[in-house]
């Protein structure tokens, strides 16, 4: 852990401590709770404090789950340092449950498995691109991720 990481964690801990002191001292809670940035920062700080750093076994478990779901071989699809880092980041910010759900959803969706106009297939790099990507993929349903061509807000003649 670098000096910058330690300073950031200490800063987060001091900020959270100050926020809780303010909250408990009688300041109106709507003043503090109304700020969505404060809420997301609180959630991140608490999640990081509880979960700690993802372990090597957690990273290897996600990689193994991906290989299983996508029927890939670890001899062909390597766990590179870049992939390891992305999995670590996504475990830290999204968590194991959300990440495994995203992998599962992508694995069972035909579009992400080549059933598209370019025969493109999603891979682990696509899934772990960002927290927002993992969140979107974890929360998608079969119908929510593809456009409804029957309900585009107009008739086909107008759209063409």
Q: Are 90 and 129 in contact (CB under 8 A)?
A: no
Q: Per DSSP, which regions of 15-99 are E strands?
A: none
Burial class (CB in 10 A: 0-12, 13-18, 19+), 25: exposed
Is pLDDT of 115 > 70? Answer: yes
Q: Which residue has the higher pLDDT, 158 or 12?
A: 12
Is pLDDT of 15 > 50? Answer: yes
Q: In the structure encoding, which two tokens stand for residue 127, read together?
A: 């899934």
Q: Which residue has the higher pLDDT, 160 or 74?
A: 74
Q: What is the mean pLDDT of residues 132-139?
A: 96
CA distance 29 to 33: 6
Percent of the chain having pLDDT more than 90?
52
Q: What is the mean pLDDT of residues 34-46?
A: 61
- State the DSSP H helix or E strand holding residue 14, giving kind and residue range, or none if neither: helix 3-24
pLDDT band at 20 (very low <50, low <70, confident <90, very high): low
Q: What pLDDT does 141 receive?
A: 80
Concatenated DSSP letters of 87-155: HHHHHHHT-HHHHHHHHHHHHH-GGGBT-STT--B--HHHHTS-HHHHHHHHH--TTTTS--TT-SSS-
CA distance 77 to 73: 6
Q: What is the mean pLDDT of residues 103-112?
A: 96
Q: What pLDDT does 53 receive?
A: 76
Is pLDDT of 80 > 50? Answer: yes
CA distance 134 to 144: 15
Largest CA distance in the chain: 63
CA distance 22 to 15: 11
Q: What pLDDT does 134 receive?
A: 96
Is pLDDT of 135 > 70? Answer: yes
């Amino acid at each position: 852990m670098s000096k910058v990481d330690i300073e950031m964690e200490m800063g987060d801990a001091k900020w959270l401590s100050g926020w809780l002191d303010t909250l408990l001292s009688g300041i109106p809670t709507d003043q503090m709770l109304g700020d969505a940035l404060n809420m997301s920062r609180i959630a991140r700080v608490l999640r990081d404090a509880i979960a700690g750093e993802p372990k090597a076994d957690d990273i290897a478990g996600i990689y193994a789950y991906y290989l299983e779901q996508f029927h890939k071989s670890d001899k062909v699809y390597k766990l590179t340092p870049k992939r390891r880092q992305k999995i670590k980041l996504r475990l830290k910010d999204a968590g194991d449950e959300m990440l495994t759900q995203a992998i599962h959803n992508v694995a069972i969706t035909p579009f992400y498995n080549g059933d598209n106009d370019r025969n493109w297939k999603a891979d682990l790099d696509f899934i772990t691109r960002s927290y927002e990507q993992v969140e979107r993929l974890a929360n998608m349903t079969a119908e929510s991720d593809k456009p409804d061509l029957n309900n585009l807000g107009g008739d086909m003649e107008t759209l063409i």
